[in-house]
């Protein structure tokens, strides 16, 4: 048996969203079982199943170092506020 991650896309949306996971013996069984488990109530119109061991996953500490780099975290709010203030002062 393999674990499969299930992704579902809603009509009109661009992205597939992760819906859950299931165990199945073959790709075809994974699709068939995902259909009943995840889209039988019209949750979406397209379906992917991906074997979990086919996902290229980073190690946990691969991502963590970026937490101590606050200069990469600004969301532009300060800049936006300054631009807004500048606009208003011109009026």
Partner 1 sequence: MSGQGAIREYLLAFADDEHLMGQQHTEWIGVAPFLEEDLAFSSIGQDELGHAALLYELVLELDGIEPTDTAVDRLAYGRPSREYRCCRLVEYTTRDWAEALARHWVYDTFEAARWRLVADSSLTRLAAVAGKALQEEAFHRRHADALLDKLLASPEARTRMLGALEAILPMVPGLCGAVAGEAEAVRRGVASAPTPDLLGPLEKAIAERFLVEVSGSGSRSGSHSTADGQFLRTVRSTDFEPLMKRMREVLDYDPEAVW
Task: Out of 17, 23, 51, 82, name the contact with partner 1 by CB under 8 A.
Answer: 23
* Closest alpha carbon to 48 in 13, 83, 19: 19
Look up tokens 């011109």; give the residue: 90
47 binds partner 1 (CB under 8 A): no
Please return the burial class of 60, using the count of CB atoms within 10 Å of its CB with bins 0-12, 13-18 and 19+: exposed
Give the nearer residue to partner 1 in terms of CB position, either 35 or 83: 35
42 binds partner 1 (CB under 8 A): no
Q: Which residues bind partner 1 (CB under 8 A)?
A: 22-26, 28-29, 31-33, 35-37, 40
């Amino acid at each position: 048996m393999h674990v499969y991650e299930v992704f579902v896309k809603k009509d009109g949306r661009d992205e597939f969203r992760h819906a859950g996971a299931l165990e199945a013996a073959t790709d075809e069984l994974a699709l068939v079982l995902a259909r009943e488990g995840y889209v039988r109530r019209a949750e979406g119109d397209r379906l992917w199943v991906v074997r979990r061991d086919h996902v290229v996953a980073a190690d946990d500490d691969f991502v963590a170092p970026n937490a101590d780099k606050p200069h990469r975290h600004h969301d532009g709010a300060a800049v936006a506020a300054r631009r807004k203030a500048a606009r208003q002062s011109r009026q």
